């Protein structure tokens, strides 16, 4: 990439710094994460914020309007994540993309590994219910390792009026899926969402695909955070899969905003994605919050594989050359 002239670079820095500061005003939860000392661990979950979220929903001025209203619950969760404490949900930008996939594929059975507080399960169930063919039952199986977090998810799912469409299962996802298969509760998976421990993605996909043979023809698979924090074994496996090809789409954790990182103006460059100019400011040790969507499509009607990740710009560039 060619270097910008010094004057232009300084101008861009000042312009971007102003935009960045305005973004932090709009999203106080991000400022909290950036106001930490170098080398200090930045918690993103499992530190009490999940219970704070539940109290926020229950005590919200519009709590009555949220009952049996999934979209209002999701809006309130996004509000909490922006104004109070960052949440490791998929967020509204990726939610739109995945909602489109649900509309396109119309899955009857969706299984997610790593349900967290129920944001994605609420989204999935609401979309599946809305787009299901007449007289077709739909169901989401949300597998969550942490029993306390699972309890919060059940509460929020119930408030959204979706308990008949979502079952939250406590415990290790692989064990839970095996048990569901043995008990005859899950006999096929039309849509698989991987959003738990990235180091388990490869083996858990193989579990569903090869061992349990639950993924049927034209099943859709979505995996989050495959580049950051990263799932290299999973990426290698799906990229070498003869029935898959890849394309990439961009998504942000803050819709409409430029990517943000923990520290400002260590490195500065401008990257172009199609006709959109994207400014990224990066610290050499920063944890960035930008998200991208990498899509793997079945070549032979075998499967459709989609990956969402936290920093896929370099990967996207390499894919464009293939």
Residues 116 and 140 reside in one and the same domain: yes
Q: Are residues 9 and 123 in the same domain?
A: no
Same domain, 217 and 275: no
Backbone angles phi, psi at 144, to 5 degrees: -125, 125
Q: Do 216 and 266 fall within a single domain?
A: no
pLDDT of residue 290: 32
The structure tokens listed for 98 are 């995945």
188 in the same domain as 114: yes
Residues 300 and 284 in one domain: no
3-state secondary structure of 190: strand
**Are residues 260 and 215 part of one domain?**
no
Residues 14 and 112 in one domain: no
In DSSP terms, 191 is beta-bridged to 110, 220
CATH number at residue 192: 3.40.50.150
pLDDT at 6: 66
Residue 76: inside a domain: no
Q: Report if residue 44 sits inside a domain.
A: no
Total residue length of the chain? 322
Q: Quick check: is 226 in a domain?
A: yes
Do 284 and 297 sit in the same domain of this protein?
no
Mind spelling out the 3-state secondary structure of 28-72?
Answer: HHHHHHHCCCCCCCCCCCCCCHHHHHHHHHHHCCCHHHHCCCHHH
**pLDDT value of residue 111:** 98
pLDDT at position 298 is 42
307 touches 238 (CB < 8 A): yes
Q: Which residues contact 102 (CB under 8 A, 6 or more apart)?
A: 110, 124, 127, 128, 131, 191
Which strand (E) or helix (H) includes residue 215?
A: strand 215-224
Q: Is residue 45 part of a domain?
A: no
* Predicted pLDDT of residue 33: 66
Q: Report yes or no on 80 lying in a domain.
A: no
Distance, CA of 23 to CA of 266 (rounded, Å): 18
Q: Which of 164, 226, 209, 195 has its CA nearest to residue 303?
A: 209
First-last CA distance in the chain:
20
- Whether 129 and 232 map to the same domain: the answer is yes
Q: What is the pLDDT of residue 63?
A: 86
Looking only at the bridges linking them, the beta strands covering 215-224 and 303-309 are parallel
Per-residue model confidence as pLDDT tens for the chain (322 residues): 455 566 766 777 777 677 767 767 777 776 666 666 666 777 778 889 999 999 999 999 788 889 999 999 999 999 999 899 989 898 888 898 889 989 988 999 999 999 999 999 999 999 999 998 776 899 999 999 999 999 999 999 999 999 999 999 999 999 999 999 999 999 999 999 999 999 999 999 999 988 999 987 788 888 887 766 678 898 888 878 776 555 555 565 554 444 443 333 222 222 233 333 333 333 222 222 333 344 444 434 445 555 554 433 333 222 322 3
Residue 53 lies in a domain: no
Same domain for 170 and 278, yes or no, is no
User: Does 126 sit behind a cis peptide bond, omega within 30 degrees of 0 on the bond before it?
Assistant: no
Query: What per-residue confidence (pLDDT) applies to 273?
Result: 35
- How many structural domains compose the chain? 2
Residue 270: domain span: 1-35+255-288
Distance CA 270, CA 281 (A): 9
118 plus 26 within the same structural domain = no
């Amino acid at each position: 990439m060619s270097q910008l002239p010094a004057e232009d670079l300084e101008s861009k820095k000042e312009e971007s710094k102003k935009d960045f500061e305005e973004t932090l005003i709009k999203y106080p939860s991000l400022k909290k994460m950036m106001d930490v000392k170098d080398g200090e661990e930045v918690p993103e979950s499992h530190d009490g914020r999940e219970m704070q979220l539940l109290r926020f929903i229950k005590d919200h001025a519009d709590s009555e309007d949220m009952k049996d209203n999934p979209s209002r619950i999701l809006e309130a969760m996004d509000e909490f994540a922006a104004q109070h404490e960052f949440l490791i949900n998929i967020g509204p930008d990726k939610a739109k993309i995945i909602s489109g996939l649900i509309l396109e594929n119309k899955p009857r059975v969706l299984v997610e590994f790593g349900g967290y507080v129920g944001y994605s399960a609420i989204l999935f169930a609401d979309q599946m219910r809305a787009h299901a063919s007449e007289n077709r039952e739909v169901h989401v199986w949300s597998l969550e390792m942490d029993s306390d977090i699972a309890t919060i998810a059940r509460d929020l799912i119930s408030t959204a009026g979706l308990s008949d469409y979502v079952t939250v299962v406590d415990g290790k996802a692989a064990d839970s899926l095996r048990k569901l298969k043995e008990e005859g509760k899950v006999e096929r998976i039309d849509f698989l969402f991987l959003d738990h421990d990235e180091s388990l993605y490869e083996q858990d996909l193989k579990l569903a695909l090869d061992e349990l043979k639950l993924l049927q023809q034209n099943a859709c698979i979505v995996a989050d955070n495959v580049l950051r924090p990263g799932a290299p074994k999973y990426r290698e496996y799906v990229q070498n899969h003869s029935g898959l090809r890849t394309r990439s789409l961009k998504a942000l954790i803050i819709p409409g905003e430029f990517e943000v990182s923990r520290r400002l103006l260590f490195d500065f460059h401008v990257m172009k994605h199609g006709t959109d100019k994207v400014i990224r400011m990066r610290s050499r040790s920063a944890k960035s919050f930008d998200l991208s969507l990498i899509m793997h499509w079945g070549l032979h009607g075998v499967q459709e594989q989609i990956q969402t990740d936290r920093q896929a710009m370099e990967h996207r560039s390499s894919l464009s050359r293939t």
